[in-house]
Amino acid sequence: MTRQSIRLSPLHNQCSLALAAAGLLLLYLLPMAQAARPPLNLPGMTVNVAERYVDIEATVCLDEGMLELVACTKGTKEHESIVAVEASPMHIHTALLVLGATNGHPAIRQPHEPPDVGWIDVPPEGDPIEVFLVLPDAAGQPVEHPVSEFVVPAGLDSDGAAGDGGDEGGFPDAFLFAGSHLRDNGDGPRTYLADESGDVISIATFGDELLCLDGIHGHGNDALLWQVNPENLPPVGAKVTLRLRVRKPDAAPATADPPS
């Protein structure tokens, strides 16, 4: 089994997603050269194929406090997320696939080998996706701001120095395309778990998120390491654009030397 088939397995389990959403987008894209493909408008988002990013309509929902997520769906976890989106996480997943990203899986627990010994935690996998907020500058022109500008270590004092709860490392600007999971519902259609939980871009580990940080991160109150940075963040209720840009490693040269 190839690496790609393993990492796409959650999506392969739902034919309706692959045929209806991905199929519709691919039919739109195939007849044109990449540079000539105009942006595609979908509910709550715009897919820019030529530039390999998706813009998602979002609303600022938090300007102080601890963070478990960067983005959630509307009506779910606005009390612990910077922005809320109305677009379906499953549709965002499909857009990222169209842009050439490969999903992996969220953090999971699986039985230890040999059996009956316990469980092991498996860290998440997936292609890196850069995350930005797009805000207007003084002239009204849109400017990309890495999401790290709006996140600081927990426990910062008024002078910006880290307190006991601070983390010395900087907040990343790229997240893993984990791809959530699909849950069986008997004879009914499977449920894309991020659509149900609202976990679009997570900082803490929930195990059902669309995008996540590398590694495994607790979400108990004593385990939260990051808080929102309101400086330069528009006020709560402001409409902003959440931009997800696919970041791929450079392709190998087409004329690479054969192995010796």
Average pLDDT along the chain, 260 residues, taken 10 residues at a time: 33 43 55 66 92 97 95 97 96 93 85 68 90 95 96 69 52 94 80 92 92 81 83 96 85 35
What is the predicted pLDDT for the residue at 254?
A: 34
Beta strands 69-73 and 81-85, pairing class: parallel
DSSP codes of every residue in 206-230: -S--SEE-SS----SGGG--EEE--
What is the predicted pLDDT for the residue at 21?
A: 52
**129 CB burial (10 A radius; 0-12, 13-18, 19+):** buried
Contacts of 96 (CB under 8 A, 6+ apart): 54, 103, 129, 177, 244, 246
Query: In this structure, what token pair is assigned to residue 89?
Result: 């996480």
What is the predicted pLDDT for the residue at 212?
A: 95
What is the predicted pLDDT for the residue at 60?
A: 98
